[in-house]
Chain A
Amino acid sequence: MKIIAIDSSGLVATVAIATEDTLVAEYTVNFKKTHSQTLLPMLDEIKKMTELDLGSIDAVAIAAGPGSFTGLRIGSATAKGLGLALDKPIIEVCTVDALAMNMWGTDDLICPIMDARRDQVYTGFYEFDVNDELSVIHERFAEDISTVVKMLNETGRRVVFLGDAVPVYKDRIETEMTVPYRFAPIHMNRQRAGALAFLAMRYMREGRTVTAADHKPDYLRPSQAERERNSNP
């Protein structure tokens, strides 16, 4: 099995080519340039570098959300275009699940946090089980950072934080956490398409794919216009 993995859900743009045994290539950029300008040139670069025959690809894995609405769509449209042109399925992977995959080997409760603005984060709670498989304790949700911290305190477990909301809410976390915690180091604290690819290949083995036409991002939140309309009917 060989797949392309793409994540442009946050500030990081990351792409990878992977097989079950090998991370053939991964290109990750954390720089203020729009994903629209960087994502496909990055994929083109690793394709050329590894002499990839696109016809040998079995599926395209995409970080399907939550995250930046625009970032998600750039990634999704890229995956959908690849899927359409190569006639291959899409493997949708939750962005916070893929982030948690970065922390393979830890005994901590894993809490990826992505900045969702308005004091909120996109998050989920995870751990690695006895078989070293990523296990979901609380599936993806959008919540106020203080409520997330309170929920973590109630578990009584040591927590590891990662994600682009860490620098945004570090002070609040340090003030409000009552259980032990730590922050992941730079090589594992942001989206990595290699980790996304690893999780995606598990889903592929389990038959969890969708067609390129059917794939759409999982925003987790309605648009602002819909929110306002629903609150003032």
Chain B
Amino acid sequence: MGEVRILAIESSCDETAAAVVEDGRKVLSNIIYSQIDLHTIYGGVVPEIASRKHIEKINPVIEAALKEAGCKLSDLSAVAVTYGPGLVGPLLVGVAEAKAIAFATGLPLIGVHHIQGHICANYIEHPDLKPPYMCLVVSGGHTHLVRVADFGKYEVIGRTRDDAAGEAFDKVARAIGLGYPGGPKIDAAAKRGNADAIPFPKAKVDDSEYDFSFSGLKSAVLNFLNHAEMKGDTVNPDDLAASFQKAVVDVLTEHAVMAIRQFNVKDMALAGGVASNSALRASIADACDKEGVRFYCPSPVYCTDNAAMIGVAAYHEYTKGNFADYSLNAIPNLSL
């Protein structure tokens, strides 16, 4: 039996998740209820519908996490919860639930930053990974290039100025009729297409070499489709998906390489839902190989929103005694 066992809860978007994590590395259970099917007909996550489903699922998910871990609440050291960033309605469900459990059991309460959770997902399967390293966090809501200076110490090097990368995947997928969620569908279509078929622009942000911008690329894709339609040209959706994906992956990879060189790091990690994208994984892995740095990436189950990663991040707050009080609130735009 380990020393520190944390029950972690995650409900920042459309996954209701709970996990028990031991000593910040060992996942005793990791239960995820995905609502994706509920939101597909709306073409994206509807916050009110997500919040309602979280309330229905949260207790069964927590109970399943405890059962699978073979734990009673009295075996735990703390209760942790994602308190931002994310959708406020969904976040509030997890926060209120976690606070009530902490209050009823007398366990300490830990508020966890969602993006820190994504980064910490890398520790689960890579016991050798230790700060300092560079991490590229890419998901439906976030695109961050982060220097992890120490456990729990993060420095944002670059971020998106507009759409998150995953958001651009969703919007482009919708435009070419692939549906929601866009990420896996674009990934699959891109494998059949020619990535050099359509030269899309690589968006640069003038005043910051590390920041990202994906709304320009998204507009370029939509304009290309409109022009083609006006001219009566047929567009091969697989070629378009592959070309769009390459434009995203190339800019993410370029920034990662730039950061590896400038900050002279020896380790590079990927995190977030879009870290499951096969082209992105391959491109960053290849770049790391060329730069002579080690490449880390969580398995897909730890890339998607999950509570195990929250339990890992919480462990590093626990060891520092960073506990929250019962006034802990959901902060939808919490910064890193």
Contacts and interface: CB of A to CB of B under 8 A. Distances in A.
Contact of B93 (A77, A225, A226): A77
A74 B104 contact: no
B52 A223 contact: yes
A36 B49 contact: no
A54 B42 CA distance: 43
A223 B89 CA distance: 13
A216 interface: yes
Interface stretch (A80-88, A107-115, A126-134, A164-172): A80-88
Interface residues of A, number: 36
A201 B96 CA distance: 24
A213 B60 contact: yes
Contact of A225 (B42, B73, B97, B329): B42
B73 A85 contact: yes
B103 A43 contact: yes
B59 A84 contact: yes
A85 B92 contact: no
Contact of B105 (A36, A85, A226): A85
Contacts of B49: 223, 225-226
B326 A40 contact: yes
A85 B101 contact: yes
Contact of B97 (A41, A54, A81): A81
B56 A216 contact: yes
Nearest to A219: B52
A217 interface: yes
A73 B89 contact: yes
B172 to A, nearest CB: 22
Contacts of A37: 327, 329
Interface string A34-51: 101111110110000000
A223 B325 CA distance: 32
A34 B88 CA distance: 12
Contacts of A80: 55, 58-59, 97, 100
A79 interface: yes
A76 B82 CA distance: 18
Contacts of B99: 40, 78, 81
A77 B56 CA distance: 10
Contact of A70 (B59, B60, B62, B92): B92
Q: Chain B binding site: helix, strand, loop or mixed by DSSP? A: helix
Nearest to A88: B104
A212 B93 CA distance: 14
B115 interface: no
A69 B49 CA distance: 11
B254 interface: no
Contacts of A79: 100
Nearest to A217: B55
Contacts of B58: 77, 80
Contact of B329 (A34, A70, A73, A86): A34
B96 A73 contact: yes
14 contacts: A37-B329, A40-B103, A73-B89, A78-B96, A78-B99, A81-B100, A81-B104, A84-B63, A84-B101, A85-B105, A213-B59, A216-B52, A219-B52, A229-B42
Given A86-B104, A225-B48, 19 more contacts: A38-B327, A40-B100, A44-B103, A69-B48, A70-B92, A73-B52, A73-B89, A77-B94, A77-B95, A77-B97, A77-B100, A80-B59, A81-B104, A82-B100, A85-B73, A213-B59, A216-B52, A224-B48, A229-B41
Interface of B: 41-42, 46, 48-49, 51-52, 55-56, 58-60, 62-63, 73, 88-89, 92-101, 103-105, 325-330
In the complex, the 4 A-B pairs of residues with the closest C-beta atoms, listed nearest first: A81-B100, A85-B104, A77-B96, A223-B48
Interface of A: 34, 36-41, 43-44, 54, 69-70, 73-86, 212-213, 216-217, 219, 223-226, 229
